[in-house]
Amino acid sequence: MSKAKKETTAQSSHKAPAVFTIKISPIRLLSFFMLTLGLIALAISIVYASSILAFIGLGLTFWGTLTLYITTEKYVKQTLLDPSIMPSLANLDRILTELEYQGKGIYLPPNYFKDLETSKVYIPKKKDANVPKPEEIQQKADKTFLKNPEAALVIPPGSSLLKLFEKTLGKSFTKANLEYLQQNLPRLFIEDLEIAENLEIQMKPAILAQKVADSVSAIQFKNDTIYVKITNSLYDSVCKEARSLKHICGSIGCPICSAIACAIAKASGKPVTIEKTESTEDGKVIEAYYRIIEE
């Protein structure tokens, strides 16, 4: 038997038999049963002029249709979330630690890239490095490690979450402002995506921030601070575990903090850093302070 013939035989042995199988869940089956029973009851009620049967029929038809309409979306267990996220965060932290990157992650706004939907975080090698100019980044946007000055340009852990936020709200954050975020992110987190039980966003303008920070540098005086408080989020255990990762918790942020930083950078059109993140012992309350850097 030739090699090609053997392969064909092997492939055909793995083929499933050509039988149509329709998978119906018990809830859907029950809904269809209620719907059918309701329609039959309605028909009989017309024949026998019975109002009781008509009420029963109307109820069964309505609830049958309703249960079909409000069927569950696809859900996954929360315990699956942490193991799927942590390795990539640990990897990123390990790479940055081994390469001795000490700078704080700077979330760059869309004007740094040719594609306005791009979200990237710039991590300088030195601790007190300046914010790069848009022209510098635009030329090297497709590279991960930059030279002169040495820095890393990586896709942040929350970039996909940000895309999901934009898709759910039906608006790109490049066309929005900070007030839009303040008004819509809580509803998105609590009601639409059910990521957290509560989300609080407070804008602290430059003058207020100046009063709070007495011993900060002159550059920080000009900058706005945004305070975000997330209560009982799905990512609480990720955030708790990420606390041990130096580059993640204090610089780039866990997926949820990172996604908010991306959103602020996109909406404000200015570079953003995560100044500080704090969480309670059990990780139920996460507080993050973002700083908008004036270019």
Binding residues for another protein (CB under 8 A): 45-47, 49-51, 53-55, 58-59, 62, 66, 69-73, 75, 190-192, 194, 197, 232
Residue closer to another protein (CB basis): 81 or 190:
190
Whole-number minimum distance, CB 52 to another protein, in Å?
Answer: 9
Write out the two tokens for 20. Answer: 């149509």
Whole-number minimum distance, CB 67 to another protein, in Å?
Answer: 9
Who contacts 135 (Cβ-Cβ below 8 Å, separation ≥6)? Answer: none
12 burial (CB, 10 Å; 0-12 / 13-18 / 19+) is: exposed
- C-alpha separations of 77 from 26, 160, 234 in Å: 20, 19, 11
Residue closer to another protein (CB basis): 77 or 127:
77
Residue closer to another protein (CB basis): 19 or 52:
52
CA distance 279 to 61: 49
Residue closer to another protein (CB basis): 41 or 108:
41
Give CA angle at 75 (72, 78), nearest 5°.
145
Q: What is the dihedral of CA 101, 102, 103, 106, to 10 degrees?
A: 60
Who contacts 185 (Cβ-Cβ below 8 Å, separation ≥6)? Answer: 165, 199, 201, 260, 263
Residue closer to another protein (CB basis): 194 or 278:
194
Whole-number minimum distance, CB 51 to another protein, in Å?
Answer: 4
Distance of CA 188 to the CA centre of its chain: 11
- SS3 letters across 3-21: HHHHHHHHHHHHCCCCCCC
Residue closer to another protein (CB basis): 55 or 221:
55
Distance of CA 238 to the CA centre of its chain: 13
Whole-number minimum distance, CB 73 to another protein, in Å?
Answer: 6
Residue closer to another protein (CB basis): 177 or 183:
183
Whole-number minimum distance, CB 226 to another protein, in Å?
Answer: 23
Whole-number minimum distance, CB 55 to another protein, in Å?
Answer: 7
Whole-number minimum distance, CB 54 to another protein, in Å?
Answer: 5
